[in-house]
A and B are shown apart, each in its own frame.
Chain A
Amino acid sequence: MPFDAPSDPDAFREEVRAWLEKNCPDSMRTPMPEDEVVWGGRREKFKNPDSKVWLERMAEQGWTAPTWPKAYGGGGLTREQAKILEQEMARIHARTPLFSFGLWMFGPALIEFGNEEQKKRFLPDIVHGKTRWCQGYSEPGAGSDLAGLQTKCEDKGDHYLINGQKVWTSYANEADWIFCLVRTDNTVKHEGISFILFDMESDGVETRPIKLISGSSPFCETFFSDVKVPKDQLVGEVNGGWKIAKRLLQFERSSISASGFGSARGTGILELDEYAKMHVGTDGDGKLLDGDLRGRIADHQMYAKAFSLTVQRSQEQAKAGQEVGHTASIIKYAAAKMNQDKFELMVEALGTEALGWEGEGFDKGAKMTTRGWLRSKGNSIEGGTSEINLNVVSKRVLGLRDHQ
């Protein structure tokens, strides 16, 4: 059972430290190879058995979702306490026990909009990594214009019937359940959308992976034909799904910016100049040989520093009770630009070493950089394109109006 967190921060830190010391397996205090990332769910294989132990212990404490209420399996911690937990984990280089769209996006939205029965039913399984969720938002004709979605949901009396297609559904082929936007009214746009949940093993669900320019397939096309969904799996009101969708997008944007793009954290920033020195070389004074590249790297690093100071400022302002609603879009836009710039500079620093694809003859790390560079092109598209984020800033923050 999770212990009752002492309110004194120092006492809490001490208890957390002692608990981590006792419970975090040694092999979970090392850098995580890509194939040991734990996404949970029915199909999770736990390549490293320690990662199963680690997930179970953390989940038992509710610490995979430290700030969620204990009633739903969370840790019931305050933001400050969660920060301490994060710091103590970082101190021993503990791995993140669970990666999960349920934790980052769906759970927080369900806590705000779900009914009691739904929260009790779905949230604890997310905390424990038992259910892996995917997001059914984009459609072939509705990407940036998300509210144009057409997937049809009909009321059949004792159940709903869903027909249509989704695209860019991240890891749909590995997910157990989907949180999905569907059209319940054709006559209106935003007000005709509902938010519904269903099992990916339901009859009539088909997924096909999409291969990207980077060679990987994190996304799928997802097809629904006559999928029957019990009525108690609709969240909120019928036709009231848009506000849930928007709130969830905010969670998505901040989780992408905070965790997906490495530049925001110290390590990624330091890497770039070390990386360039290693591959381009230095003069007698330790300066990068390519002066132009050096200037552009410095420019990038200053942008990255400005970015992380802005994230910090926004957190301090929120804590002091100031309005910071406008920062989510700015941060998503800037984080995407920054991560893409970083990869462009890394590829440039590598020179021809960056031009390998697979097999022998190229350094393994260089090949990962190349794949990362290709993958980063998606940063300004996924989770709201940069253009959509600029629209949000100009309309909501700067109050600029549409054409009359």
Chain B
Amino acid sequence: MTFILSEDQEMLRDTAVSFTRDELPVKHLRELRDAGKNGVDPEARQKLAELGFFGVLIPEEYDGVEMSMVAFGQVMEAQGRTLASTPLLQTACIGASAILLGGTEAQKKEWLPKIAAGEVTTALALDETSHHNPAGVATEAERDGQGYTLNGAKKYVQDGHHADVFIVVARTFGEAGDTHGLTLFLVPRDAKGLTVQSLNTVDSHGAAHLTLDGVHVDDSHVLGAADKGMDVLEPVLDRGRIALAAEMLGSSLAAFEMTHEYMQTRKQFGQLIGSFQALQHRAARMFTDLELTTSCIAAALAAVDSQRNDLAELASLAKARASETVHLVSNETVQLHGGIGMTDDHDSGFYMKRARVQEAMLGSASFHRDRYARLNGY
């Protein structure tokens, strides 16, 4: 039953939905922005940890609550509904998965309990240009006596402005464009030679550019096999893409619901705007799109749990469809709200600005269309 939630998953969803609604509404993001906090709220992070959200994908032996990707998707969807700025995607999904899939027993014991407890946040430092391109990594990792020396720069690292440890993807072999020759490194924020440039971003969630200037790490910081980073990176990226797509579905649904409600209360020409057929059809088209996207996200989340062999295809499907849907719905939200939708006082703009960040992260719709075509042999 790919499309029906279990009781546990439903309970987790309900908890997540009421938590984000009560504690992390859009108003909260607005307050963080106005206070210059760049989307960072340590108190909220602690509460998320108490609810067990950081440990959903972590086994009990490392202090996690060991649920499933479907369960984690419910948390991400809830977070997307209110645009909550949390380290869940980067830390609980990408960071935890990278360590689980690639880490040594020592690394798992060191990091996973801290992640589950919300004590440590991680950030994936992968892309080096303005477009997602895992094989395009040029950052060099040169072998030195007891480890490696890293040189290069990373662009727009999500959660990079406050992460405690970075998962840096660097090249130990070959040249930019090769899918082999990549290696993953755990690099602490205070590593010598690492510069973190904090960014103020359009969605008020923040991010960072990184410069690695002769950063030294020893062998215990290598995550997974040297030169074979893609073996870990690909499945980790797909989990991240699917989780992000679930977040995007949440944002799309919330923006649509807000618009739907407005159509039933706002009057023009003496009529509710929701009674105009031109607008009704636009709402119905959005609804159709949301239904199709919902199915894709559910299928992709379940595919992780059942380790299906078409996982990569479903991940690209989920991210591409979610990108197109959130793009459409966020634009329509502003338009259907009219002038008020253009004001900073209204939430519409927050959904549209966050949507563009979500669309660009971990591969745009065109990136995933291309990947989908390649996976299907054309």
Partner-B contacts on A (CB < 8 A): 273, 276-277, 282, 286-288, 294-295, 297-299, 301-303, 305-307, 309-310, 312-313, 316-317, 320, 322, 327, 330, 333-334, 387, 389-391, 393-395, 397-404
Contacts and interface: CB of A to CB of B under 8 A. Distances in A.
A393 B284 contact: yes
Contacts of A312: 2-3, 295
A277 B371 CA distance: 17
Contact of A330 (B1, B288, B321, B376): B288
B271 interface: yes
A287 B275 contact: no
Given A273-B378, A286-B377, A309 B372 contact: no
Interface of B: 1-4, 260, 263-264, 271-272, 274-275, 277, 280-281, 283-285, 287-288, 291-296, 298-299, 317, 320-321, 366, 369-370, 372-374, 376-378
Given A288-B378, A309-B295, A401 B373 contact: no
Contacts of B369: 295, 298-299, 302
Contacts of A399: 264
Given A287-B373, A316-B4, 11 more contacts: A282-B378, A301-B372, A309-B298, A309-B299, A317-B3, A333-B288, A334-B288, A391-B277, A398-B280, A398-B283, A403-B271
Contacts of B293: 306
A297 B287 contact: no
A288 B378 CA distance: 6
Contacts of B283: 394, 398, 400
A70 B326 CA distance: 49
A120 to B, nearest CB: 39
A305 B372 CA distance: 11
Given A295-B366, A310-B295, A391-B280, A400 B275 contact: yes
Contacts, number: 122
The 6 closest A-B pairs by CB, nearest first: A394-B280, A393-B284, A309-B295, A306-B292, A390-B284, A313-B3
A367 B277 CA distance: 39
7 contacts: A273-B376, A313-B294, A316-B3, A398-B280, A400-B280, A401-B272, A401-B275
A305 B378 CA distance: 16
A400 B378 contact: no
B378 A286 contact: yes
Contact of A306 (B284, B321, B370, B373): B321
Given A298-B373, A320-B4, A390 B291 contact: no
A327 B288 CA distance: 9
Contacts of A394: 280-281, 283-284
